[in-house]
Structure 1
Amino acid sequence: MQHQKLATIEDVAALAGVSIATVSRAINEPTKVADATRRKVTEAVAKTGYTTNAMARSLRMRRSKMILILAPDVGDPNFSNILVGLETEASKRGYGVLIGNTQNDPTRETDYLRFISSNQADGLILFTGHLPYGFGQEGGEARLPAMVAVNEPVANADVPFVGVDNFEGSRVATEHLISQGHRRIAFIGHSTSKAVNMLREKGYRAALQAARIEVDPRMILDGDGTTESGRAAAEHMFVRDVLPSAFLCVNDATALGVIISLNTRKYDLPRDFSIMGFDDISFASFVTPALTTMKQPRLKIGEKAMDLLLALLEGKPPKEPEVLLRAELIVRNSVSRPGYER
């Protein structure tokens, strides 16, 4: 039997009508090659079967050209748009992505990390807010891959972070409520374990203090970021001694729960109560009243995080430990001046 000759880089160059050096750049550093040239090289690679050789070379280099994304909940409304940014930037640089939906299960995290230990993935994007289970134990530090945290910073670890400026965004949100005449502003989302919640509460407190409004502990309620926690917190307010004129919610899902509770009680929104969210997820403009909120630059967060991770893989240290992007105030119909004094 006659064996078919394996394609060479010279074959690809000849078919694409470019130099061998250009083929090499198109495969290994695609962002440095013009789109039209890259397409010609890609087509030539497919026609000659040189892809197999390229994959073998990648394995010899112990590079998979894949990035593992660990997320506790891929159903999180913020996840999909950030993922688009991650995938877009990875694709530009010749990388693909693998998604591990951990569901906060240590066993699932450990299972997904086999992609790293078996060289099927080169680096990690962490949405989990913590180092992967098993790392940093029994000499595990030596096995730590390049990684970048997104959305939730990793506490007490030297992991670069890319996300929205939660403190500043919450401060701006609170200032908007104050500018509308609100002085009794409830914050729903108090937490002692979630960094995002704590930063947003700090921004709320800072805005009140700057406006010389006393922070009332009765106006601060626990919340885990779910719609049910928002509904329950709003209900709880009605058994307290004083009601707010406005609710600042740690995220839009919480705000939806507040709106559900107040609509059930037949309140006229926003005349009776104003509600402010954070994130600007897809449903925010469709609820009644349409939600005033802070918009996360999710696509840009994904692009920046992937760019930073790939720089780390190239041996380039980050210029700063965290990249914080500004949230944008989106004004809709859920905030107005207080309708009457209580």
Structure 2
Amino acid sequence: MKNLETKSNKVSLKEIARLSGVSIATVSRVINNTGRFSEETKHRVLNIVKKNNYRTNTLARSLRTKHSNSIGILVPDLTNDFFSKVVQEIEKNLFKVGYSTIICDTQRDPDMENYYLNTLEAKSIDALIVISGDHPFDSDSLTEKVPVLCIDRKPKNKDTIFISSNHKTGALIATQRLIDKGYFPVYVSPDHVSTSRASRISGFKHALELNSIQFTQSNSLELKAPNQESYDKTIEEFLQKNKDKRLGLFCLSDYIAAIAIRQIHKLNLKIPNEIGVIGFDDTKYASLLNPSLTTIHQDTSKIAELSAKTITKMISSPNTDVKKNIEVPVTLVARESA
């Protein structure tokens, strides 16, 4: 069949319908993935669409249907393995149901976040997903009312959906393991503010309380400057200062745990005999470290699946009641480091 698209005249919806042997309304339903149609009809229409390089006019369609079929995603740091995995999984889930994503890396900069929010609103997104961040997200700050879902970032508005791992329980499990193995428990964390960090520290302190251990400054190591060189130095100094203790480090991320393990090796301390280390996230390199890292596993697939399912339901049925707070269970992955 001759390709119907030319430089001056692209194939029309009417022509796609004629070639497919169905109505224009059916073609529209297939392209927009709405309403009823058989699998056979879907394949026939999409084959004709593909063969003739048909492209929908997104702007015109959004003006007509009030939907752009796009969802904005704000993320604070795409170099973070956990964040990038969640974003990738969400994008995959949304693509399956006909939504495109616009991903914005704010780099934990409030000005960049505001700029991207304005940009996303200008693009008439159907919904917004906000992942982590340093302060509660205020959905009332948006000029257009669209569904908003927060992951690991408490919303300011009680009607906003909030999905997170059970960070507090994960931290409690990790800390209890260190205590049970006879270590002196210490949490190690960057000092930036986030919902997940606060929950993990709360879980750490709760474990100490359950074991009648008083929390003091010696039970915490805050990493002030956000760069690896300063982290190296701070961790090394702390280890030197506490050589008399059999430390058990609960690192609030696998990334911090990896830095800690390197400094422990540098001081010729033996893991897990002289010092224990537990991370959080169960990222791809946790099992590759030497020794392999005991860590708390976050179910990124479940988080992404729930996020995509909830946000699309909010778009298609705005008046439907959905659960406002969803907590995803975590599990301990026991390896060699503790």
User: TM-score, structure 1 length as denominator?
Assistant: 0.82
**Relative to structure 2, which stretch is displaced further, 192-201 or 263-272?**
192-201
> Among the aligned pairs, what percent are the same residue?
27
Q: Which of 318, 323, 327 pairs up with 2:326?
A: 323
- Partner residue of 2:105? 101
- Partner residue of 1:262? 264
- Partner residue of 1:340? none
Quickly say closer, same or farther: Cα 1:33–1:211, change in 2 above 3 A. farther
Deviations 1:37-62 (A, max 9, x none): 53433222334565436763233223
Quickly say closer, same or farther: Cα 1:36–1:250, change in 2 above 3 A. farther
Given that residues 250 and 278 in structure 1 are in contact (C-alpha distance below 8 angstroms), is that contact kept between their aligned partners in structure 2? Answer: yes
What amino acid is aligned across from residue 95 of structure 1 in structure 2? Y
Report the Cα offset of residue 294 of structure 1: 0.9
- Partner residue of 2:81? 77
Quickly say closer, same or farther: Cα 1:242–1:268, change in 2 above 3 A. closer
- Residue 83 (structure 2) pairs with residue 44 (structure 1): no
Given that residues 26 and 38 in structure 1 are in contact (C-alpha distance below 8 angstroms), is that contact kept between their aligned partners in structure 2? Answer: yes
Quickly say closer, same or farther: Cα 1:88–1:16, change in 2 above 3 A. farther
Structure 2's unaligned 5+ residue stretches are 1-7
What amino acid is aligned across from residue 252 of structure 1 in structure 2? D
What amino acid is aligned across from residue 98 of structure 1 in structure 2? I
Given that residues 231 and 259 in structure 1 are in contact (C-alpha distance below 8 angstroms), is that contact kept between their aligned partners in structure 2? Answer: no
**Relative to structure 2, which stretch is displaced further, 169-178 or 42-51?**
42-51
Deviations 1:210-258 (A, max 9, x none): 2344434311221468755376245224325963431111111111121
Report the Cα offset of residue 148 of structure 1: 1.1
Alignment of 1:12-31 (within 5 A): 12-16=16-20, 23-29=27-33
Q: State how far apart, in whole Å, the 1-side matches of 2:142 and 2:277 are.
A: 45
Given that residues 222 and 233 in structure 1 are in contact (C-alpha distance below 8 angstroms), is that contact kept between their aligned partners in structure 2? Answer: no
Q: Which of 7, 13, 22 pairs up with 1:8?
A: 13
Q: State how far apart, in whole Å, the 2-side matches of 1:126 and 1:29 are.
A: 25
Given that residues 230 and 255 in structure 1 are in contact (C-alpha distance below 8 angstroms), is that contact kept between their aligned partners in structure 2? Answer: no
**Relative to structure 2, which stretch is displaced further, 272-281 or 229-238?**
229-238
- Partner residue of 1:205? 205
Report the Cα offset of residue 291 of structure 1: 0.7
Report the Cα offset of residue 187 of structure 1: 1.1
Quickly say closer, same or farther: Cα 1:75–1:305, change in 2 above 3 A. same
What amino acid is aligned across from residue 57 of structure 1 in structure 2? R
Q: State how far apart, in whole Å, the 2-side matches of 1:190 and 1:246 are.
A: 17
Report the Cα offset of residue 301 of structure 1: 1.4
Given that residues 188 and 221 in structure 2 are in contact (C-alpha distance below 8 angstroms), is that contact kept between their aligned partners in structure 1? Answer: yes
Q: Which of 109, 121, 126 pairs up with 1:122?
A: 126
Deviations 1:177-231 (A, max 9, x none): 234x225211112758322111111111222322344434311221468755376
Quickly say closer, same or farther: Cα 1:78–1:281, change in 2 above 3 A. same
- Partner residue of 1:148? 149
- Partner residue of 1:294? 296
Report the Cα offset of residue 120 of structure 1: 4.0
Given that residues 190 and 223 in structure 1 are in contact (C-alpha distance below 8 angstroms), is that contact kept between their aligned partners in structure 2? Answer: yes
Paired residues, number: 327
Q: State how far apart, in whole Å, the 1-side matches of 2:10 and 2:85 are.
A: 44
- Partner residue of 1:339? none
Q: State how far apart, in whole Å, the 1-side matches of 2:71 and 2:253 are.
A: 28
Q: State how far apart, in whole Å, the 1-side matches of 2:217 and 2:156 are.
A: 26
Q: State how far apart, in whole Å, the 2-side matches of 1:114 and 1:37 are.
A: 40
SS of the equivalent of 2:281 reads coil
SS of the equivalent of 2:175 reads helix
- Partner residue of 1:249? 251
Given that residues 136 and 154 in structure 2 are in contact (C-alpha distance below 8 angstroms), is that contact kept between their aligned partners in structure 1? Answer: no
Q: Which of 303, 306, 313 pairs up with 2:308?
A: 306
What amino acid is aligned across from residue 65 of structure 1 in structure 2? N
SS of the equivalent of 1:288 reads coil
Q: State how far apart, in whole Å, the 1-side matches of 2:227 and 2:334 are.
A: 22
Given that residues 187 and 247 in structure 1 are in contact (C-alpha distance below 8 angstroms), is that contact kept between their aligned partners in structure 2? Answer: yes
Report the Cα offset of residue 276 of structure 1: 0.3
Q: State how far apart, in whole Å, the 2-side matches of 1:267 and 1:77 are.
A: 28
Quickly say closer, same or farther: Cα 1:214–1:34, change in 2 above 3 A. farther
Structure 1's unaligned 5+ residue stretches are 336-342
Q: State how far apart, in whole Å, the 2-side matches of 1:31 and 1:288 are.
A: 54
- Partner residue of 1:188? 188
Q: State how far apart, in whole Å, the 2-side matches of 1:35 and 1:223 are.
A: 55
What amino acid is aligned across from residue 275 of structure 1 in structure 2? V
Given that residues 248 and 276 in structure 1 are in contact (C-alpha distance below 8 angstroms), is that contact kept between their aligned partners in structure 2? Answer: yes
Given that residues 230 and 254 in structure 1 are in contact (C-alpha distance below 8 angstroms), is that contact kept between their aligned partners in structure 2? Answer: no
SS of the equivalent of 1:324 reads strand
Given that residues 237 and 243 in structure 1 are in contact (C-alpha distance below 8 angstroms), is that contact kept between their aligned partners in structure 2? Answer: no
